[in-house]
Amino acid sequence: MKRRTFLQRIGSILAVLGVTEAEWLTWGNRYYQALAQPSLRKFALLIGINQYSQNPKLSGCLTDVELQKELLMHRFGFPAANILTLTEEQASREFIEAAFLEHLGKQARPGDVVVFHFSGYGTRIQLATDTVQNALVASDAQNSKIVNYLLAETLVLLLRSLPTDRVTAVLDTSYYAPTMGTGLGIRARPEIVDGELASAELDFLQQLKSQNSASKAELTPPLLLTATADPKQSARELLLSGFSAGLFTYALTQYLWEATPAKTIQVSLGQVESSMRKLGSKQQPAVVSNQKNPLLADNFVADSAIGGEGAIIAKEDDGKTVSVWLGGIPPQVLEYYSPNSRLSLVSGEQLILRSRTGLTAKAQFSTIDNTTSVQVGQLVQEAVRIVPRNINLIVALDTRLERIERVDATSAFATVSRVSTVVAGEQPADYLFSKLLPMPTRYGLFSLGGEAIFNNPGEVGEAVKVAVQRLAPKLPTLLAAKLWRLTENQGSSRLAIKATLEIISSISPRVVMQRETMRTLGGETATNKSLSTLIVPIGSKMQYRLQNLGDRPVYFILVGFKNNRSAIAFYPWQTPPEPNSLETKPLVKQIVIAPGETITLPQSSGTSGWVIPGPAYEAEHQLIFSTTPFNETLTTLETAKNSTTDQQPIGPLLNPLQVAQAILQDLHNASQLKAEINGTSADSYVLDVNNWATLSFNFQVI
């Protein structure tokens, strides 16, 4: 399609949108001039739609576009002029297809990097041939019974028609709308039973099929990343302070900010899924590719193997103050990322965080030297993380509750220590308090993805206050997990640590999952194996293999979460000095890993590993390493009234909140910068990336 034809084709749409031809030409000329430069060979088309005339509005699709754009520009070197974004009314079906043909189809050459992204509603549509197809809901989707959808088949043919083998499409949408749901916003609309697909889309699809069949060139299979693996699973949105985003897009882009290149898609999506689960969703992303174990970096092509937590996006006050994009900070950490946190440039200069609004922060240099040399686009890396000590568990009250029910719930939760309530959908939350359907007179606590947290509902007719009292003893465990998740820093840690979860067999251990600190090891020791197997059979004998590849000794602790309900911990037992004395209780000891040393966990001389018990459950383990001993943590473990009598290495944790606070205190004590950060250490934890690393393991036992 020639440029003039493209402009003519979208002219009628521009008129409807109130965009003058002069305005479009000004924008079009600017990006066409940029595309004319032969050295710029990375292109992206990003689509995001929040506002739909015939459907409830979404909240996070425009943020998704921003997340992708900042990532592509500052982490992967896409020229800003080569990234075309279509949002809201601009993202009509005709406009999307025309932009694809002109911006990607006419520009891409063999070897070029191409990224397509869509965030918005998906749905299903029955065609005249009695086939039902998936479709993307464009901004002008419905006019009476004629629906102007973009068929998923059309998109795949467009992607396959591009002449390069480095094509990636990210679809943060889903197609089956649940009959009932709760929690996070869902990006799927019900199928319109009597809807008829616009003839223009059917004609365009047939044209693509004819062109492809007539072409003798082999079609290039794109790398298609989808928000859900199960066709009937829902793509959901995430609400954080000041903004919403697609759960998949946020987790994916956050991972890519920090990730080093040589990781297979399976490994990458495994970590993305782990991040999504911590945010309350069982949504499983998927990859569709004919390539065997493709590398994400082969499609995005990072400019540097060095990752970061964000980039400088603007300078103010002669460079003394900068605006920083923080898309690489884990979402559960970003909520509590506090002023005086420190970021560093690759060149060594440090920035002090002064304020944050959503994903953008204002920061100043710790010294006034060399500030004029700072350039927009420079990567920033986390140096010191500051989080408040006073963090509550936040429970959202479902808006489907009656007003009197919400009043009673607010009053009841107010009596529970360190628990706050908000209205669902208005402010960020950790869990949802709602009715247990289809039994409306029972109440329960749910994840943000709609999963019931506890399986012991109260009696029929139970009062709201009684339900809250029933749940109250279990809330400290949920808060504990929230607190130790704040320590996750696989991307930013400067400790050189590798941890592998293995199933022990008579031949050799089988790797289930591997985690390593990215900043120190990721570029050098990338694993070529597919480590996407996250299933552990009941009865398996397991062990962790821990490697200290740095030059300093490190100590470690393990805590975990089972089925989002109960806490566990690793108990490094030592033999009491007087084993025959009834007065002596079991003691725990510090375990240190010397530089260059590898140890297995547990370290029992009598047995190797620990046996995974049934019934089926989901496990989340945090392996936390520090350059100083975990004195507070082990003291807290020893004083617990633990019921473990056989001294199993991994057992129930009966005082999880106290242990979580002790872990944070130990990591705070390990920081060398407490005295330098005036007024902060009293009411916050100061965590130095040079002194700690937390690696997270999630797996299912079946």
Tell me the pLDDT band of 118, cut-offs 50, 70 and 90: very high
**Bridge partners (DSSP) listed for residue 196:** 146
Contact 180, 162 (CB under 8 A): no
Q: Would you say residue 498 has pLDDT above 90?
A: yes
Tell me the pLDDT band of 660, cut-offs 50, 70 and 90: very high
Which whole number is the average pLDDT over 243-255? 94
Distance CA 74, CA 302 (A): 10
Contact 621, 536 (CB under 8 A): no
Radius of gyration for the alpha carbons in the chain, expressed in angstroms and rounded: 27
Tell me the pLDDT band of 193, cut-offs 50, 70 and 90: confident
Q: Would you say residue 584 has pLDDT above 60?
A: no
Which pLDDT does position 19 carry in this prediction?
A: 37
Tell me the pLDDT band of 510, cut-offs 50, 70 and 90: confident
414-441 pLDDT tens trace: 999 999 999 998 999 999 999 887 666 7
**Bridge partners (DSSP) listed for residue 292:** none
How do beta strands 83-87 and 42-48 pair? Answer: parallel
How do beta strands 42-48 and 113-119 pair? Answer: parallel
Which whole number is the average pLDDT over 616-643? 86
Amino acid residing at 376: V
Tokens encoding 49: 């739609």
Which pLDDT does position 318 carry in this prediction?
A: 76
Which pLDDT does position 392 carry in this prediction?
A: 97
Q: What's the N-to-C CA distance of the chain in angstroms?
A: 54
**The CATH number, out of the four listed (3.30.2420.10, 3.40.50.1460, 3.40.50.2300, 2.60.120.200), of the domain defined by the range 41-300:** 3.40.50.1460
Among 689, 632, 685, residue whose Cα is nearest residue 663: 632
* Helix 199-214 and helix 152-160, axial crossing angle in degrees, nearest 10: 30
Which pLDDT does position 26 carry in this prediction?
A: 37
* Helix 3-17 and helix 21-35, axial crossing angle in degrees, nearest 10: 140
Tell me the pLDDT band of 116, cut-offs 50, 70 and 90: very high
Distance CA 92, CA 70 (A): 24
Which pLDDT does position 143 carry in this prediction?
A: 65
Beta carbons within 8 Å of 393's beta carbon, 6+ residues apart: 418, 419, 420, 430, 431, 475, 478, 479, 482
Which whole number is the average pLDDT over 113-139? 92
344-368 pLDDT tens trace: 998 888 999 999 999 999 999 887 6
Among 183, 223, 214, 640, residue whose Cα is nearest residue 450: 183
Contact 256, 71 (CB under 8 A): yes
Tell me the pLDDT band of 525, cut-offs 50, 70 and 90: very low
Which pLDDT does position 307 carry in this prediction?
A: 86
Third-level CATH fold of 393-482: Rossmann fold (3.40.50)
263-316 pLDDT tens trace: 667 777 888 888 888 888 888 898 886 655 555 555 666 666 678 999 999 998
Q: Would you say residue 257 has pLDDT above 80?
A: yes
Q: Would you say residue 526 has pLDDT above 60?
A: no
Residue 441 DSSP symbol: E
Tokens encoding 301: 């092509």
Contact 497, 625 (CB under 8 A): yes
Position with higher pLDDT, 279 vs 625: 625
Least confident of 155-164, 376-385, 412-421, 521-530: 521-530
Whether 41-300 shares its CATH topology with 393-482 is answered yes
Which pLDDT does position 423 carry in this prediction?
A: 94
Tell me the pLDDT band of 488, cut-offs 50, 70 and 90: very high
Number of C-alpha atoms within 13 angstroms, CB side, residue 700? 10
Which pLDDT does position 442 carry in this prediction?
A: 85
Give percent of the chain with pLDDT exceeding 90: 52
Distance CA 340, CA 688 (A): 12
Domain parsing of the chain, residue ranges: 41-300, 310-388, 393-482, 486-701
Least confident of 27-36, 56-65, 292-301, 514-523: 27-36
Contact 323, 314 (CB under 8 A): yes
Tell me the pLDDT band of 262, cut-offs 50, 70 and 90: low
Question: 3-state class of 102 per DSSP?
Answer: helix
Beta carbons within 8 Å of 274's beta carbon, 6+ residues apart: 696, 698
Tokens encoding 614: 């049934």
How do beta strands 146-147 and 196-197 pair? Answer: parallel
446-469 pLDDT tens trace: 988 888 887 666 777 889 999 999
Position with higher pLDDT, 604 vs 240: 240
Look over the chain and give the mean of its residue pLDDT values, rounded to a whole number. 83
Least confident of 42-51, 70-79, 167-176, 526-535: 526-535
Position with higher pLDDT, 581 vs 184: 184
Amino acid residing at 148: N
Q: Would you say residue 109 has pLDDT above 80?
A: yes
Which pLDDT does position 247 carry in this prediction?
A: 95
**For the domain bounded by 310-388, which CATH number is listed?**
2.40.30.20
Cis peptide before 615 (omega within 30 of 0): yes
Distance CA 264, CA 298 (A): 10
Reduced 3-state DSSP string for 283-339: CCCEEECCCCCCEHHHHHCCCCCCCCCEEEEEEEHHHCEEEEECCCCCHHHHCCCCC
Tell me the pLDDT band of 572, cut-offs 50, 70 and 90: confident
